[in-house]
Structure 1
Amino acid sequence: MFSKVSVNHPLAYFFLAFITMAGLSYINFLPGVVNALAGSIGFSDAQAGQIVALNGYGGLLGSTIAIFLVRRMRWQQAMYTCLPMLAVIDTGTLWIEDYSVMLGWRFLAGLFGGLCVGIGFSVLARLNNADRAFGTLLLIQFSLGALVIYLLPAFEMLLGAYAVFYLMAGFALLSLIMMLFLPSLATDHKPVKQSVLLSELNGNAVLLLLAITAYQLAASAIWTYVGRIGLNAGIHADHVSLSIAMTGLLGLLGAMLPVISGNRFGRLSWVITGVALSIISALLLSVSPLTPLFYITSMALLFFSWPAVQSYLLAVTADMDGTGRLSALAAVVSSVGLATGPLLASGLLERGNFSSMLYASALVFLACLFLLFKPVQAQEKAENPVLSSHYQSNTKDPI
């Protein structure tokens, strides 16, 4: 009844990336979710942050469970179960007014969403071009996030305070439709290399997972409060939303790097540049007094770097382990960073002063730079003999 697309068709990459994104879609427009919860819905700022954090930790649990499911059940069956449940829970949020019930309800949403994300990561990792797969995922995340943040005020006027939850449910239902056009990937695995998870995680895998966690932690800490930072800089609230949406579009360019270039020119130089730009972004935001020019420039640097760095690091995890289990584990540690970043940031805030949080984020970015260097370089040597000989020639003692 439905025509299946080829596993190597660009639409297959797009559909799978969108389905993976839909699991925890709220992260893409997190400031809008927090504003809705702490605004017309009626929760306090602190309660809104805690609700979002519980949603994130539910996603962490779901992604963890996915690690043990990816090789024990068909991924399509799991998605056909989790996506409808996610849509029902997101829609049911409209009738919940009690804070304690909301905490549990959003944790449950995170659980099913995390399952979708973990399973989706493992499937993306088994596609032939992991750089394109994860680049497409980040491309969708940033484009959709910018679009939703820009249009959310209009949606709220049309649908009410819970408009953002209607959108989440809509993304889950749209993902179900996309599932109908996807082929089975049961026999389309990449050649399985030695799985680092079947015995034990080797040192490079651990360093890479720590780097992913560190980057997500620092980036999400800034992302959570980027709106408040703009208001503190004296920018009008409407202009803050517009600035976030417009600079967020630069994430499209960052996400396009791995989609276009893949691994043809290596990944190490790209990720080093991206993390360095992220450090500069955090430091620019900490300048006092913060001018609108510095504010917009810093957001542009971060939003350009974020998708490129993450997609390249995720592609490295896919190359390290052809079974997809390491990529599912990468989804878990990514959730750890995304859920912990807002909590860490809130603990470092001072009255009207974001400097401590921003300096801490810059230091975490710097730690990420040291963590990723060895595993990314080692994988480039293993995958590209030309780059390997180049590294060797550069490390020989001069005669």
Structure 2
Amino acid sequence: MIDTSTAPIKTNPRHLTPDGLAAAIFLAFLSTAGLFYVNLGGSFLSAFVDGLGLSRESAGYITSSNKYGAAFGAFIAVLLVKHMNWRKTAYFVLPTLILTDVISFQIADETFLIAIRFFHGSIGGFLVGLGLSVIARMQSPEKGYGMLLAVQYTFGSVGIFTVPKLVGLFGHAAAFGALITFSLITLAMVPFIPDYPPREKAPARPDGKKSSVMLVPLLLTLAAIFLFQTANMGVADYAFELGKDSGYTMSELSNLLAVANLISVSGALLVYSVGTRYGRLLPLMVGVGLAATFTLAFHFSEIPAVYFIANTVTGMTWAFCMSYFLGLIAAFDGHGQMAALGGVISKMGLASGPLIGAMVVGEGNFTLIINLAAGALVLCALFALSPALRLDRANT
């Protein structure tokens, strides 16, 4: 049976209750700040197209480099997370992240932007890996990850609604202003987050043996996460551009996608309220199946209702499934290293989606992007089947 040892006792009077709602929200901010540009969705990519006049292909390469940098930074976090004081590290990383965003909005050259955003991604990815490792030490990691996705979608909705309009008024710098603001808020929260030391007792393997993580289920889960993130991000990063080609104005798109994103929060909140009451296999199979189905619905984006519902449902399943994927990995590890590793693979997927999209989009080949994404989601379900079933049987 997977270890769910008691959460650390609150010792500092200014710290929040370790497994309370407020602590989960603050941890969600910590784990979001480094990658908040992802939650701005296609509005961040479109900021380069509309604000700087870059091509869709160039904008895709810039956002992709940001996410590959995040994967690199998260990998460094995997190596170091056991040996670092996460709070002191956050005090250093967050100001560096803010400074990099300040420099970024003063650059207009595509090549320099690719380089600086890769550096930004590396810092941010390290911070996200750190945050994920701390959430993995909670008594119920799934609930922590559920709140993480809820915060990301809520504030992502605000960004999707406001950033395109601000870009129209102030240029692409408005997108970076949103990132800086979020990082400043997060920095103010850090002193109040509980310590969350590593759990002393190592978790048991699902086969009952006293040893480290089982390699095959871990690799299958990581493969599923990669495919899931690649598929979703490949479509999401081009959601605005797909909408433009379907005849919608930027104002219509920002309003429609902001509402869809806000409704998507319900997927994360459902995880927070349900946890693992029904295991992990059933929620994952239902969630990924719905994601694949409604990804294909993007073929009919010229119909407003279909475009809106497709964005809403894929957003809900994205928030819902990722909570279980990360919880699946965290169940094997008391230190949070595997959760940080899951963050690495997640970011590789987030980066690969827009990269593949940039390679095939041309002047608007969204049909191929949609089909590739749906196929990747089907493969994702196949990879996730065995590890989720194995863990459910162990807990039974």
When the two structures are superposed, what TM-score results if normalisation uses the length of structure 2?
Answer: 0.91
**CA shift digits 1:134-160 (9 cap, x unpaired):** 000111111111111112244446654
User: How big is the shift at 1:346?
Assistant: 2.4
Q: Report the Cα offset of residue 111 of structure 1.
A: 0.9
Deviation of 1:326 after TM superposition, in Å, equals: 0.7
Equivalent position amino acid for 1:248 in 2: N
- The alpha-carbon deviation at position 195 of structure 1 amounts to 7.9
Change (3 A) 1:153 1:315: same
Q: Does the 8 A contact of 1:278 with 1:365 survive in 2?
A: yes
Partner of 1:277: 290
| 1:236 CA drift (Å) | 3.0
Answer with 312-321 or 235-244: which moved more: 235-244
Q: CA deviation at 1:128?
A: 0.7
Equivalent position of 2:3 in the other structure: none
Q: Specify which of 334, 352, 376 is matched with residue 364 of structure 1.
A: 376
1:329, distance to aligned residue in structure 2 (A) = 0.4
Where do 1:250-261 residues align within 5 Å? 250-261=263-274
Q: Is the 8 A contact 1:285 1:298 kept in 2?
A: yes
Task: Name the structure 1 match of 2:202.
Answer: 192
Q: Percent of aligned positions with the same letter in both sequences?
A: 30
- 2:32 partner letter: M
Alpha carbons 1:60, 1:111 under 8 Å: kept: yes
User: Once the 2 structures are TM-superposed, how far is the Cα of residue 183 of structure 1 from its aligned partner?
Assistant: 2.1
Question: Residue 2 of structure 1: CA displacement?
Answer: 7.9
| 1:347 to partner: Cα distance | 2.3
Residue identity matched to 1:335: K
Letter in 2 for 1:150: F
Letter of the aligned partner of 2:369 in structure 1? M
Whether contact under 8 Å (1:14, 1:137) holds in the other structure is yes
| 3-state SS in 1 of match to 2:237 | helix
**Among 339, 357, 361, which residue is 1:345 paired with?**
357
- In the other structure, the counterpart of 1:11 is 22
| Residue 217 of structure 2 is aligned to residue 204 of structure 1 | yes
* CA shift for structure 1 position 267: 2.1
1:76 correspondence with 2:87: yes
Note if 1:291 corresponds to 2:300. no
SS at match of 2:221: helix
Q: 1:215 to 1:13 in 2, by over 3 A?
A: same
Provide the secondary structure at the position in 2 that maps to 1:265.
coil
Whether 1:147 and 2:167 are equivalent positions in the alignment is: no
Where do residues 1-399 of structure 1 align in structure 2 (5 Å cutoff)? 3-156=14-167, 160-186=171-197, 189=199, 191-194=201-204, 202-287=215-300, 290-349=302-361, 351-383=363-395, 385=396
Q: What is the SS of the residue equivalent to 1:274?
A: helix
For 1:232 and 1:42, locate their aligned partners in 2 and report how far apart those are by CA, in whole Å: 17
Instruction: Name the aligned partner's letter for residue 260 of structure 1.
Output: S
Counterpart Cα distance in 2 of 1:100 and 1:352: 23
Q: Which moved more, 1:150-159 or 1:170-179?
A: 150-159
Q: What is the CA-CA distance between 1:87 and the residue it aligns to?
A: 0.7
After superposition, give the CA deviation of every residue in 1:328-369 in whole Å (9 maximum; x if it has no partner): 100000000000001112223354342121111111000001
- Per-residue CA deviation, residues 216-251 of structure 1 (Å, 9 max, x unaligned), is 000001101111222222233321221111111121
* Higher RCO (C-alpha under 8 Å, 6+ residues apart): 2
User: How many aligned positions are there?
Assistant: 381
Given residue 339 of structure 1, which amino acid in structure 2 is its aligned partner? A
Greater displacement, 234-243 / 359-368: 234-243
Q: SS of the residue aligned with 1:205?
A: helix
Shift, 1:93, TM fit = 1.5
Return the alpha-carbon distance in structure 2 between the equivalents of residues 178 and 134 of structure 1: 18
1 CA distance for matches of 2:140 and 2:296? Answer: 35
- 1:201: Cα distance to partner? 5.2
Aligned partners of 1:247 and 1:296 also within 8 Å: yes
Contact 1:2 / 1:180 at 8 angstroms: preserved in 2? no
The question of whether the paired residues in 2 share the 8 Å contact of 1:195 and 1:323 is answered with no
Unaligned 5+ residue runs, structure 2? Answer: 1-11
Deviations 1:233-279 (A, max 9, x none): 22333212211111111211101111001111222211111111111
Native 8 Å contact 1:192 1:322 kept in 2: yes
